[in-house]
């Protein structure tokens, strides 16, 4: 399952994601992972969740990000939920079409590997395509 939190800058996306991470830590039995661009959430994310800083890995393209997530799962089959904070800031020059394709890939990966993904991104919900909106929560 893929869940998408989208909105304009300052709409509370990260705050909502952090609350969802806390809930997942309390209710889910597997490993919880949160990927963020920089080290801004260090004190907000519970220590039980694995916090990964994307800037440490120089994630730059959608293809790299797919490989990164695949490798993350290959290294730990106990992961049940991956949270991705502000996807658009981690990937350079990403188009709306690439976002839609990434979310579709993520949905297929989620189904195959039984991992839930929650992604936040700065994107106007009013102008987003239906291929993106279908993942919105």
When pLDDT is cut at 50, 70 and 90, the band that residue 42 belongs to is confident
When pLDDT is cut at 50, 70 and 90, the band that residue 133 belongs to is very high
pTM of the complete model: 0.94
74, pLDDT greater than 90: yes
Structure tokens at 16: 């909502």
Percent of the chain residues past pLDDT 90, beyond the cut: 82
Per-residue pLDDT of 15-32, as tens digits, reads 999 999 999 999 999 999
Indicate the SS3 state at residue 34: strand
- Architecture of the domain defined by 13-121: 3-Layer(aba) Sandwich (3.40)
- Cα angle 76, 134, 126 (rounded to 5 degrees) comes to 125
Query: In sequence order, which ranges of 8-53 are alpha helices (DSSP H)?
Result: 13-27
Domain boundaries, the chain: 13-121
In this prediction, residues 85-105 reach a mean pLDDT of 93
- CA dist 26 and 24 (Å) reads 5
In this prediction, residues 118-135 reach a mean pLDDT of 94
């Amino acid at each position: 399952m893929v869940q998408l939190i989208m909105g304009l800058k300052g709409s509370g996306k990260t705050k909502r994601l952090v609350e969802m991470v806390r809930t997942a830590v309390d209710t889910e039995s597997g490993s919880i992972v949160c990927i963020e661009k920089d080290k801004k959430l260090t004190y907000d994310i519970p220590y039980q969740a694995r916090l990964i800083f994307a800037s440490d890995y120089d994630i730059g393209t959608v293809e790299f990000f797919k490989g990164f997530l695949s490798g993350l799962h290959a290294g730990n089959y106990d992961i049940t939920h991956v949270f991705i904070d502000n996807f658009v800031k981690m990937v350079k020059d990403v188009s709306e079409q690439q976002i839609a394709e990434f979310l579709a890939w993520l949905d297929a990966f989620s189904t195959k590997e039984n991992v839930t993904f929650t992604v936040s991104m700065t994107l106007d919900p009013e102008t987003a395509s239906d291929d993106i909106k279908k993942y919105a929560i």
